[in-house]
A and B are shown apart, each in its own frame.
Chain A
Amino acid sequence: MTRTSVITGIGVIAPGGVGVKAFWDLLTSGRTATRTITHFDASPFRSTVGAECDFDARAEGLTEEEVERLDRATQFALAASRQALGDAGLVPGEAEPPRTGVSLGSAVGCTTSLEREYVTTSHNGTEWHVDPELAVPHLYDYYVPSSMAAEVAWSVDAQGPVTVVSTGCTSGLDAVGHAARLIEDGSADVMITGGTDAPISPITLACFDAIRATTPRNDEPTTASRPFDATRNGFVLGEGCAIFVLEERERALARGAHIYASVDGFASRCNAFHMTGLRPDGAEMADAISTALGRARLAPERVDYVNAHGSGTKQNDRHETAAFKKALGQHAYATPVSSIKSMVGHSLGAIGSIEIAACALAIEHGVVPPTANLHERDPECDLDYVPLTAREADIGTVLSVGSGFGGFQSAMVLSKPVGSGR
């Protein structure tokens, strides 16, 4: 018998909203959470806009020791896991630990803590030979992003397969795809899965400045993220996390769990083209979409909403528009397509899972979140991008896509549950 997986719990730490309700309120209001970076003085940088989370770790139940020791992205993951588990009506260890796993996406791991410790151990960058005496005992845990998955696994008592999936900006999507695959092949029955990143730090700003990927629209921070708009000129760096309880469907049904959505199909491709560039024709993303739909046994016409990668760089938005047309044919023009990065920025390895959360909630509430800041049409982006205002719609099937450095192109198909509880 085929095993399939369903989402039974969601936890979200996002810019503009901690928790599922605040997150969904932001998305449907069309407000944006981008602002001038406050985590540190970003004025020496080309791009000074960010999408930051107003996150109070203690209010989310983390201990003083955890706040002190753990990287911000790990703290996000612990808080969101807790939310997700509660939402799913599970307590840690309740699901059989050896049958429970963790698949956590992160593009840049504990980069913020690493940089902080580097500054300390190098005496403010003046010493190439960093000082081991100044290293914190848990420096190794920042060094290896796998520590993030370990913390989550311990907190939820998962003793099955545990890993970090780190495929750049598709990490959040790929981690959930990996989790679904582990449930399908029987490696686990329950997966705690999603993505987390807290990359807003000087080194990350500097590297995106160097390739001019982030927007320099510093004087208009709240409208700086402009996916599909003709005036777009780069993405807004964000941070955040979304974690799901993914369960084998029969198990979820048997315990009468509320099911947000089923994960019906997933596929990924590489463009084998360029570490940061995209082939203009979108061939790999189109093939990922077609393959994911094929696995879901759904025709392209069944897609009711496309959650775009929509980063707001010139090349990305054209690239994926081409991919949608290639994969969905004429139906691409009839389907609402939107980018929530217009509101919550681009949180690298987290955003793919934050977007899955948006998709699950879109299915749940019958509302398509809009693309904020979209005023001026780009002739090369000629689909229905749901500008400015959320739209009610009966949504049975959603397609979510991601695109990342390294050439990764991924697609996931989620559907409204049939025969769920509640």
Chain B
Amino acid sequence: MPQPLPELTIEVLAQILNESAGEGEDPGPDGGFADVPFSDLGYDSLAVLETAGRLRRDYGVHLTDDEVSEAGTPQSLLDLARRRISASAS
């Protein structure tokens, strides 16, 4: 039996990023991974593309080139993906 997919949360996205592109840089004492730019987390464009690929495979979320390149932080990528998921569910 395939496991049901967990709801896409920031923690789940962090996990996908980790598996797709390795552990990010420590965001520092202020924490707040979600709003730290990908580049400051050490994730390059390929890391984001690889993560977008996982979102497509696992959650059926298809993001355009511009959306991928404009999603500058984990939170913005998450918001985008969740909007897509709820749009397809409704």
Residues of A at the B interface (CB closer than 8 Å) are 210-212, 233, 274-277
**B65: CB under 8 A from chain A?**
yes
A132-B68 Cα distance, complex, nearest whole Å: 42
| Interface pair B45/A277, CB less than 8 Å apart | yes
| Interface pair A212/B53, CB less than 8 Å apart | no
Contact of B49 (CB < 8 Å), options: A212, A233, A275: A212
Contact of B44 (CB < 8 Å), options: A212, A233, A274: A274
* 6 A-B pairs with C-beta separation under 8 A: A210-B50, A274-B44, A274-B46, A276-B45, A277-B44, A277-B46
| Interface pair A211/B65, CB less than 8 Å apart | no
Q: In the complex, what residue of chain B is closest to A234 when comparing beta carbons?
A: B65
B45: chain A residues within 8 A (beta carbon): 276-277
Rounded to whole Å, the gap between the CB of B65 and the closest CB of chain A is: 5
| Interface pair B49/A210, CB less than 8 Å apart | yes
**Interface SS of chain B:** helix
| Interface pair A275/B46, CB less than 8 Å apart | yes
Residues of B at the A interface (CB closer than 8 Å) are 44-46, 49-50, 53, 65, 68
Q: In the complex, what residue of chain A is closest to B50 when comparing beta carbons?
A: A210
| Interface pair B44/A210, CB less than 8 Å apart | no
Q: In the complex, what residue of chain B is closest to A273 when comparing beta carbons?
A: B44
Q: A210-B50, A211-B49, A276-B46 are in contact. List 11 more A-B contacts (CB 8 A).
A: A210-B53, A211-B46, A212-B49, A212-B65, A212-B68, A233-B65, A274-B44, A275-B46, A277-B44, A277-B45, A277-B46
A142-B36 Cα distance, complex, nearest whole Å: 46
Q: In the complex, what residue of chain A is closest to B53 when comparing beta carbons?
A: A210
A274-B53 Cα distance, complex, nearest whole Å: 20
B65: chain A residues within 8 A (beta carbon): 212, 233
Rounded to whole Å, the gap between the CB of A411 and the closest CB of chain B is: 26
Rounded to whole Å, the gap between the CB of B37 and the closest CB of chain A is: 16
A211: chain B residues within 8 A (beta carbon): 46, 49
A210-B52 Cα distance, complex, nearest whole Å: 9
Q: In the complex, what residue of chain A is closest to B49 when comparing beta carbons?
A: A211
- The 3 A-B residue pairs with the shortest CB-CB distance, nearest first, are A212-B65, A211-B49, A210-B53
Rounded to whole Å, the gap between the CB of B54 and the closest CB of chain A is: 11
Q: In the complex, what residue of chain B is closest to A276 when comparing beta carbons?
A: B46
